[in-house]
Amino acid sequence: MNTQVTDADKVEMEPSKFTIYKNIPIPPQKRWRRKQKWGFLKEMEVGDSIIIDEGFLQHTKKEIVNVRAAMHRFGFKCSQRQQDDHTFRVWRTA
What lies within 8 Å, CB to CB, of 76 at 6+ separation is 41, 44, 92, 93, 94
Instruction: Work out how many domains the chain is built from and give that number.
Output: 1
Residue of 69, 91, 72, 70 whose CA lies nearest to 80:
91
pTM of the model: 0.59
Contact 88, 81 (CB under 8 A): yes
Residue 91 parent element (H or E)? strand 88-92
Task: Write out pLDDT tens, residues 1-59.
Answer: 555 666 666 555 556 777 888 999 988 877 665 557 888 899 999 999 999 887 766 67
Residue 5 forms part of a structural domain:
no
Residue 78 forms part of a structural domain:
yes
